[in-house]
Structure 1
Amino acid sequence: MTLNNAKSLWRRSLRPSKPELSRNMGQDIPSLSTEPITLAVIGCGQRGNAYASYALQEPTACKVVAIAEIRPKTRSLFAQAHSVDKTLVFNSWQELHRASAETIKTVGKRLADAVIIAVHDQMHLEVVLAFAEQGYHILCEKPMSTNMDDCIKMEAAVKRAGTIFGMGHVLRYSPYNAALTQIIRDGDLGPLINVVHVEPVGYYHFAHSYVRGHWAKEEDSCFSLMTKSCHDIDILCHWLSPNMPSRVSSFGSLRHFRKQSKPPAAGTATRCLECPYEKDCAYSAKKIYLDRVANGHKSWPVSPIVDGVPDIESVEYALRHTKWGQCVYESDNDVCDNQVVNLEFDNGTTASFTMVAQTSLICQRQSRLHFAFGEIVGDMTDFTVTDFRKGLVKKYSPKLEGGGHGGGDLGLIRTFVEAVRTGRQEILGTDVSDVLKSHLTVFAAETSRREGRVVDCVAFERGAREKVSA
């Protein structure tokens, strides 16, 4: 696509109800209009699709008008699904950004109201900074970034822009967690004393994402507590807000997915399709990918390993020639497959969180919340409330919605779109500084694990901010 094409198309699609860019682009908030919020999607993989699907479900609420994606087949399929004009289909976020700069310069309009940033984690900072500077409202997939300094820089950039900012902490937005949070806020069970929260990642999920996948090595991404579980720490902080974490300790390791754990029967095989032990291996790539696609399953976890719609031929090629077919005991992964985090909040409330790979449940969190006069026990689908004083036990089964994370994906994008439509950050129930604080708690927990000490969260944040400002 050329910049001239982008300008031409955008001139044709300008909406007269939208204000011109002010000198402070962050103040360019759309008026309350019945027209759909326009979105540019940067990264059209699993997460980009998860959020953009809302535009297909509710076309009067939002519309995808521009995309950037490096993979040609994935890019083409996404553009086709959303009927994106070919002049607004870009091969990279840089191309989209340059086209946006040109339209801002020549006609005083951005290409869209908001951007969804769903690229690899280590790219989040540069993309957020670029589009925040242009005054876009931003929904960024978790985590903010893969290092603490960049997270602090992102907060500063978003504050300068003054635009709506959403983070992919999707647990907050599921019907289940919304209902549970409301009971906490109502206070009928008294003060919250203790929380026990477990994330069972799932044996093949961990093998897919954190042994063979994009998040397997810390130097290429980040530690697994951040990449997998930052929104679990966030939901704990959300439940206990306005109280803040004061101290944290953590323990964990890469316990199983290493060469020492390789079954002797696997011998010297380094790939599943060549392994004599494959039929008996829980983590067989043939079972996880090839058998699934042979049975007609073409979504996650099969879809991320190929460009375009997976079939037997493309999946088999990936298993023979790429990391997706490697033995999990012969891979170069180094992130923890089990970790516990203990938190003390500034009001004395305590919380514990466990992340573990070796489970049959796939990300179906289990929580126990203990109050002065009752408790809540739940599993992301149903939760039971017990009132000690009244002797009452009541089961809640919030209506499940489509999409991932128990409807949390849909809940987040729907809430973000409404925040953009109204120009009200508070609709999201959080802001960039709140997001940063929960991320800093995750960094503090990992510091505890590495250094073998209890970390003071307040001093930790102060030190992190001083380091960046210096």
Structure 2
Amino acid sequence: MSMGQISSQSSDMTPLVRVIVAGAGSRGENYGHYASIHPERMKVVGVADPRKFARTKMQHQHNIADENIFEDWQSMAEREKFADAVVVSTPDRLHKEPAVAFAKKGYHILLEKPMATTPEDCTAIVEACTQSGVMLSVGHVLRYDPTIHLIKKLIDKGAIGDVVHIQHFEPVGFYHFAHSFVRGNWRNEAESSFALLAKSCHDIDLIHHWAGARRCVKVSSFGSLSHFRKEDKPPEAADRCVDCPIEAECSYSARKIYLDRVKRGQTGWPVSVICPNSYPDIESVTEALKTGPYGRCVYECDNDVCTNQVVNMEFEGGVTAAFSMVAFTEKICDRQTTIYGSKGEMRYGGHDVSVFDFLTQRWNVHHPHPDALKHYGMGGHGGADYHLIKAFISAVANNDPSLIRSGPEETLQSHLLVFDAERSRVESRVVYCGENDSDTADERNNIR
């Protein structure tokens, strides 16, 4: 049984993992759904959230006892340990304190990405988990996507020889960006974090993972906020879409993104996010658009995060990588990747991995095993949400941290790379990874 585990066991002698949830938003609720699919493996036994509707909803979903319902994570952490693991899915800027507190209590931790919003806080979380002897899994769900996982397997098998260059692109999607990064929770750096951390730490983590054991030695980045600015607002536009005379002509209309979906019976994401105190229907969504942040004109918001950004990286041994993130795309998060090697070229477009062999001059298409694609209704991130929580629960049940693909040390390194990239963008210079402000030019050259 895992370290400090207090769970009962199911009939097949596999430990039932008891989990508490700090933050009952969409991510916390989503991970909790695994307990409904596999009640013999996981049970949600406690929840903390300041919003009564959110915590009550999760209480009803999992039949949680009244004494295990909390208005804040602090009250839950003060209790004597009553579960094996905790899902920390609080807002980005509120990750460090609960993660450290629960680690010190002996809980294994599934921490939603990003780890935290400063390098110091990320480091503190890893140190707390290491010192407390608990497992840490960070919500880099793409590491668990069966097809993306196949990329790493093929690289390690030598399918394209030595990796020379990685080209990776994330199309955020025009209405996804308007929802999350113009009107939504991640629109403002002071309230959450910068876009590269909030949205694309997934992607930098993948590039870091594909590069293998090589350390990134230097990075440069460029990016800016385009279009979603007050100066781009049409003169006739109103401050809210429900009052706007030209709403029908706007691609980012809140009526189109939310209200039209509800009228078609679609109440999942993104509609499910905008009504924090009720289930979404025509009346509640209409009220949210009249009074809440998601009904605002996209040209009248307090957003300041980048809509487009590029990151260039050089790893040890001369391996290079280039990443691009763009808001203004038809496709939503359908990543595109090409990896160039000494013996071949690899392409990924969402459903399979194609490898061109320089020797045979032929393409071979690779698919993950069909069993790996099963997600039992947890289809978020292409089913990767299911595979992440499955791996975490299995790791806790079997006391086997090797089952976690997004563990503390490598995830910390990829997060530090994200911070270095943003530093490059803000300071308009190449950043040598791991440098200190006191480094001289000669010392930076020696890093190479």
Q: Is 1:258 aligned to 2:224, yes or no? A: no
> Displacement, 1:283?
0.5
> Displacement, 1:76?
1.8
Consecutive unaligned residues in structure 2, runs of 5 or more = 440-448
| Structure-1 residue corresponding to 2:355 | 385
Whole-Å Cα distance in 2 between the matches of residues 66 and 462 of structure 1?
47
Q: Are the counterparts in 2 of residues 30 and 420 from structure 1 also a CA contact under 8 Å?
A: no
| Structure-2 residue corresponding to 1:280 | 249
Partner residue of 1:300 out of 269, 277, 286 = 269
SS in 2 for 1:77: helix
2:138 partner letter:
M
Q: Deviations over 1:64-90 (max 9, x none)?
A: 111112222222221111122222222
| Structure-1 residue corresponding to 2:314 | 344
Q: Are the counterparts in 1 of residues 6 and 83 from structure 2 also a CA contact under 8 Å?
A: no
Partner residue of 1:215 out of 186, 189, 209 = 186
Whole-Å Cα distance in 1 between the matches of residues 17 and 176 of structure 2?
34
Partner residue of 2:412 out of 431, 436, 445 = 436
| Structure-2 residue corresponding to 1:404 | 380
TM-score (norm 1): 0.88
> Displacement, 1:462?
11
Q: Are the counterparts in 2 of residues 122 and 145 from structure 1 also a CA contact under 8 Å?
A: yes
Matched pairs, number: 428
| Structure-2 residue corresponding to 1:81 | 61
| Structure-2 residue corresponding to 1:367 | 337
Q: Is 1:329 aligned to 2:299, yes or no? A: yes
| Structure-2 residue corresponding to 1:65 | 45
Question: Following superposition of structure 1 onto structure 2, how do residues 22-421 of structure 1 map, counting pairs within 5 Å?
Answer: 27-28=3-4, 33-98=13-78, 100=79, 103=80, 110-266=81-237, 269-306=238-275, 307-398=277-368, 399=370, 400-402=373-375, 403-421=379-397
Q: Deviations over 1:304-358 (max 9, x none)?
A: 1112311111111111111111000111100000000001101211111111100
| Structure-2 residue corresponding to 1:467 | none
> Displacement, 1:389?
0.8
Change (3 A) 1:212 1:221: same
Whole-Å Cα distance in 1 between the matches of residues 101 and 358 of structure 2?
53
Whole-Å Cα distance in 2 between the matches of residues 115 and 462 of structure 1?
40
Whole-Å Cα distance in 2 between the matches of residues 84 and 359 of structure 1?
42
Whole-Å Cα distance in 2 between the matches of residues 192 and 29 of structure 1?
42
| Structure-2 residue corresponding to 1:11 | none
Q: Are the counterparts in 1 of residues 308 and 324 from structure 2 also a CA contact under 8 Å?
A: yes
| Structure-1 residue corresponding to 2:445 | none
| Structure-2 residue corresponding to 1:7 | none
> Displacement, 1:97?
1.6
Whole-Å Cα distance in 1 between the matches of residues 374 and 26 of structure 2?
18
Whole-Å Cα distance in 2 between the matches of residues 327 and 458 of structure 1?
41
Q: Is 1:448 aligned to 2:431, yes or no? A: no
Q: Are the counterparts in 1 of residues 229 and 299 from structure 2 also a CA contact under 8 Å?
A: yes
1:392 partner letter:
R
> Displacement, 1:460?
5.3
Whole-Å Cα distance in 1 between the matches of residues 406 and 260 of structure 2?
42
Q: Deviations over 1:412-459 (max 9, x none)?
A: 111111111122222213431221111110000000001111111132
Whole-Å Cα distance in 1 between the matches of residues 41 and 362 of structure 2?
41
> Displacement, 1:364?
0.9
Change (3 A) 1:38 1:227: same
> Displacement, 1:94?
1.8
Q: Are the counterparts in 2 of residues 270 and 330 from structure 1 also a CA contact under 8 Å?
A: yes
> Displacement, 1:201?
0.5
SS in 2 for 1:347: helix
> Displacement, 1:396?
2.7
1:452 partner letter:
S
Whole-Å Cα distance in 2 between the matches of residues 55 and 369 of structure 1?
37
SS in 1 for 2:24: coil
Whole-Å Cα distance in 2 between the matches of residues 270 and 382 of structure 1?
44
SS in 2 for 1:439: helix
TM-score (norm 2): 0.92
- Structure 1 stretches (4+) deviating beyond 4 angstroms? 29-33, 460-463
Q: Are the counterparts in 1 of residues 150 and 353 from structure 2 also a CA contact under 8 Å?
A: no
Consecutive unaligned residues in structure 1, runs of 5 or more = 1-17, 20-26, 104-109, 464-470
Whole-Å Cα distance in 1 between the matches of residues 408 and 329 of structure 2?
33
Whole-Å Cα distance in 2 between the matches of residues 329 and 124 of structure 1?
30
User: Which is further off, 86-95 or 163-172?
Assistant: 86-95
Q: Are the counterparts in 2 of residues 215 and 227 from structure 1 also a CA contact under 8 Å?
A: yes
Q: Are the counterparts in 1 of residues 15 and 397 from structure 2 also a CA contact under 8 Å?
A: no
| Structure-2 residue corresponding to 1:14 | none
Whole-Å Cα distance in 1 between the matches of residues 298 and 388 of structure 2?
34
Whole-Å Cα distance in 1 between the matches of residues 32 and 17 of structure 2?
12
> Displacement, 1:406?
1.5
Q: Deviations over 1:360-394 (max 9, x none)?
A: 11111111111111111112222211112122212
Q: Are the counterparts in 2 of residues 440 and 461 from structure 1 also a CA contact under 8 Å?
A: no
1:160 partner letter:
Q
> Displacement, 1:30?
7.0
